[in-house]
Amino acid sequence: MNKQYERLVPLYGKENLDKLKHATVAVIGLGGVGAYAVEALARMGVGTLIVVDKDVVMESNINRLIYATHDTIGLYKSDLAKQRINSINPECKVFAYAQNFDETMVDTLFAHTIDFMFDAIDSLKNKALLIEQCINRNIGIITSAGQGNRKMSEQIIVKDLFETAYDPLARKLRSLLRKQGIEHSVPAVYSEEHPLKDNTLSFVASNPFGPATAGLRAAEYITTKLME
């Protein structure tokens, strides 16, 4: 086994790490949450990663996005993700798409044989679409609820989306999914903290801790499921 993974072996065993090496995981959305999930998946030795995000890095991303520095402003997040994955694990196969996931990308994305999906999309409509597609295709998925306007990372957990509370994004997503006949068993990484309410803000408040914690918890959930 590659020396860079030798310290994982006592924790998980070579057989389980081989499962990750032969797995394909897609992360849709490379904001503060999705990017940290990609980081952990790469460092766990996942063999194929698909990363999707149409956005470029902006100065306002620097407080939470692992790819964001003053040197990367204006560069595509998907390109930066691919470069970083390859620098961590040159053997990893990376498919990077600088576009949003929506109806026009369904065929492209699912042309890949995907073992697990992480939905870190902001758009409610596209989150619901991705979850529906994964359920219909029997692909494992975990979704991210809202991580902004909160500061207590210790309250971030994984829970069934339909059992979450205090999260406006999760509430709206549940409503959309119910209209599609989906009412249970959608794991979500979410915060039990009540979000900040400040109607004077024109942006979503954030810190480095919550998005990173949510991304790492999602990656841990995914790798655990893949090793079962």
**Whether the predicted pLDDT of 75 surpasses 90:** yes
Whole domain around residue 44: which residue ranges?
3-227
The number of domains in the chain is 1
Strand partners, 56: 76
1: pLDDT confidence band, cut at 50, 70 and 90? Answer: low
**Whether the predicted pLDDT of 184 surpasses 70:** yes
53: pLDDT confidence band, cut at 50, 70 and 90? Answer: very high
For 5-9, 105-109, 181-185, which range has the lowest pLDDT when averaged over its residues? Answer: 181-185
Query: Please, are residues 177 and 143 in contact by the beta-carbon 8 Å criterion?
Result: no
For 52-61, 131-140, 202-211, which range has the lowest pLDDT when averaged over its residues? Answer: 202-211
Amino acid at 58: M
HEC states along 41-66? HHHCCCCEEEEECCCECCHHHCCCCC
pLDDT in tens, 121-133: 999 999 999 999 9
Tokens of 143: 């979704």
* % of the chain residues with pLDDT over 90: 86
| Separation between Cα atoms, residue 10 and residue 106, nearest integer Å | 39
Q: Which residue has the higher pLDDT, 198 or 213?
A: 213
Please tell me the predicted confidence (pLDDT) of residue 56.
98
| Separation between Cα atoms, residue 101 and residue 14, nearest integer Å | 34
pLDDT in tens, 86-134: 999 999 999 999 999 999 999 999 999 999 999 999 999 999 999 999 9
Backbone torsions φ then ψ of 144, nearest 5 degrees: -105, 125
Please tell me the predicted confidence (pLDDT) of residue 43.
98
Please tell me the predicted confidence (pLDDT) of residue 103.
97
Q: How high is the mean pLDDT of the chain?
A: 95
* CATH number, domain with residue 32: 3.40.50.720
